[in-house]
Amino acid sequence: MRPDEWEDLYRSAFRRVYPALAVTLMDRDAALDALHDAFVEGLRNAPPDRRNVEGWLYVVALRKGRRRFRLSFALPLVDRPTADRALDDVLLRDEVGRLLTRLSQRQRAIVVAHYFLHQTQEEIARDLGVSRGTVSATISQSLARMRAAPQGQ
């Protein structure tokens, strides 16, 4: 993809992929950094399959975000966006946010990719390097875990 195509993609995909990452990683700053890193990666090495670039961005950013959690130190944060009302609306939905916190990061990643980014189980499996059966089982287990959550907790 040409840089101008990436700029158009950034404008259209950012609004969908960033909230999904923030919910999955449970950290807005890490999500923003990881998504920016994913866009840089895309400029260096274009995704092999251009049919679902948003899904590719999500997976690359998710991997980069997870890698940051493994670091034993944190870099100082500068120039972060202050208020993102759309993201706040997603994160502050009491019930959904509470239920998502009950899931592991891997479960959140799969549930968010499936229900928020509307990826198929096959796409998620390919992007995350697992079998479709693993994706299906993870979705089922995640939904069961969320359904079993006591109300109000």
Tens-place pLDDT, residues 12-65? 888 888 888 888 888 888 888 999 898 888 888 888 777 788 888 888 898 888
Distance between CA atoms of 40 and 72, rounded to whole angstroms? 24
- Every domain of the chain and the residues it spans: 3-147
Instruction: Express each pLDDT in 112-139 by its tens digit.
Output: 888 888 889 998 998 888 999 999 999 9
| Spatial separation of the C-alpha atoms in residues 138 and 91, rounded to whole Å | 22
Over the chain, what is the mean pLDDT? 78
- 52-93 pLDDT, tens digit per residue, is 888 888 888 988 887 765 543 333 333 334 445 555 565 555
List the structure tokens of 108: 């959140």
